[in-house]
Amino acid sequence: MAPPLIQLKDINLTFGGTPLLSGVELSVSSGERVCLIGRNGSGKSTLLKIAAGLVEPDGGSRFVQPGATIRYLPQEPDFGDHKTTLAYVEAGLGPGDDHYQARYLVEQLGLSGDEDPAHVSGGEARRAALARVLAPSPDILLLDEPTNHLDLPTIEWLEGELASRKCALVIISHDRRFLSNLSRSTAWLDRGQIRQIDRGFSAFEAWRDEVLAEEERDQHKLDRKIVNEEHWLRYGVSGRRKRNVKRLGNLHALRDQRRNYRGATGNANLAAAEAEKSGRLVIEAKNIAKTYGERKIVEGFSTRVQRGDRIGIVGPNGAGKTTLVHLLIGNDPPDSGTIRLGANIEMATLDQHRESLDPKSTLAEALTGGRGDHVMVGDKSKHVIGYMKDFLFAQEQRGTPLEALSGGERGRLMLARALAKPSNLLVLDEPTNDLDLETLDVLEEMLGDYEGTVILISHDRDFLDRVVTSVIAPEGSGRWIEYAGGYTDMLAQRGEDLSREAPKAAAPEEKKEAKAAAPAAAPKRRLNFNEKHALETLPKTMAKLQAEIAKQQKLLDDPDLYAKDRKKFDAASAAISKAQEELSAAEDRWLELEVLREEIEQA
In this structure, which amino acid lies at residue 50?
I
Question: Residue 501 — very low, low, confident or very high, per pLDDT cuts 50/70/90?
Answer: very low
In angstroms, rounded to a whole number, what is the distance separating the alpha carbons of residues 193 and 175?
23
Q: How confident is the model at residue 512 (pLDDT cuts 50, 70, 90)?
A: very low
158/374: higher pLDDT: 158
Q: Is the pLDDT of residue 515 over 50?
A: no
Which residue ranges are tagged as binding site? 38-45, 315-322
Q: Which residue has the higher pLDDT, 509 or 468?
A: 468
The alpha-helical segments, DSSP class H, found in 468-565 are: 487-494, 508-516, 529-556, 561-564
For position 28, what pLDDT does the model report? 93
Q: Angle at CA 224, nearest 5°, toward 221 and 227?
A: 155
DSSP 3-state of 150: coil
C-alpha 97: how far from chain center? 38
Q: Is 418 left (phi over 0), alpha (psi -120 to 50) or beta?
A: alpha
Instruction: Please check the confidence at residue 309 and state whether its pLDDT lies above 90.
Output: yes
Most confidently modeled range among 225-229, 266-270, 582-586: 582-586
pLDDT of residue 278: 86
Q: What is the pLDDT of residue 1?
A: 58
pLDDT at residue 525, rounded to an integer: 54
Task: Count CA atoms closer than 13 A to 222's CA, side-chain side.
Answer: 17
Residue 511's pLDDT band (cuts 50, 70, 90) = very low
Which of 135-144, 413-422, 481-490 shows the lowest per-residue confidence on average (mean pLDDT)? 413-422
Mean pLDDT value across residues 249-267: 60
Q: How many helices (H) and strands (E) does the chain have?
A: 19, 20
Eight-class DSSP state of 565: -
In this predicted structure, what is the pLDDT of residue 273? 73
Position with higher pLDDT, 254 vs 282? 282
Higher pLDDT, 350 or 303: 303
The binding site for ATP comprises: 38-45, 315-322
Answer yes or no: is pLDDT of 506 > 50. no
> What does the pLDDT read at residue 504?
36
pLDDT band at 435 (very low <50, low <70, confident <90, very high): confident
* pLDDT above 50 for 475: yes
Share of the chain above pLDDT 70, in %: 83
- Looking at residue 261, its pLDDT comes to 55
Model pLDDT for residues 524-579, shown as the tens digit of each residue: 456 666 677 777 788 888 888 888 888 888 888 887 887 888 888 888 888 888 88
CB–CB of 164/425 below 8 Å? no
Q: Report the pLDDT averaged over residues 219-232.
A: 70
| 12-21 pLDDT per residue, tens | 998 766 788 9
**Quick check: 250 pLDDT over 70?**
no
pLDDT computed for residue 510 by the predictor: 35
Q: Which residue has the higher pLDDT, 594 or 121?
A: 121
Tell me if the domain spanning 266-346+422-526 has CATH number 1.10.10.60: no
pLDDT value of residue 90: 93
- Sheet containing 70-73: give its strands across: 70-73, 140-144, 168-172, 33-37, 185-190, 193-197
pLDDT level of residue 305 (50, 70, 90 thresholds): very high
Residue 244 banded pLDDT, cuts 50, 70, 90: low
User: What pLDDT score was predicted for residue 370?
Assistant: 76
Q: What is the mean pLDDT of residues 159-180?
A: 93
pLDDT at 264 exceeding the cut of 60? no
CATH number of 529-602: 1.10.287.380
Mean pLDDT of the chain: 82
Ordered strands of the 4-13 beta sheet: 21-29, 4-13, 59-64
Q: Which of these, 195, 227, 188, lies nearest to 219 by C-alpha position?
A: 227
29-47 pLDDT per residue, tens:
999 999 999 887 788 999 9
Q: How many Å apart are CA 23 and CA 21, to the nearest integer?
A: 7
SS3 of residue 148 by DSSP: coil
What pLDDT shows up at residue 85? 94
% of the chain at pLDDT higher than 90: 34
Among the four given CATH numbers 3.30.70.1560, 3.30.420.40, 3.30.365.10, 3.40.50.300, the one describing domain 4-206: 3.40.50.300
pLDDT band at 374 (very low <50, low <70, confident <90, very high): confident
Are 82 and 128 contacting, i.e. CB atoms less than 8 angstroms apart? no
Is the pLDDT assigned to residue 521 strictly greater than 60?
A: no
Q: How far apart, in whole angstroms, are the C-alpha atoms of residue 155 and residue 463? A: 14
CA 158, CA 108: separation in Å to the nearest integer?
A: 10
- pLDDT for 574 equals 86
* Cα(480)–Cα(472) distance, integer angstroms: 6
pLDDT-derived band of residue 473, with 50, 70 and 90 as boundaries? very high
140-144 and 33-37 beta bridge pairing: unpaired
pLDDT higher than threshold 50 for residue 63: yes
What average pLDDT score do residues 211-225 get? 76
- Helix, strand, coil fractions of the chain, as percent rounded to 5: 45, 20, 35
pLDDT at 217: 80
pLDDT at 519 over 60: no
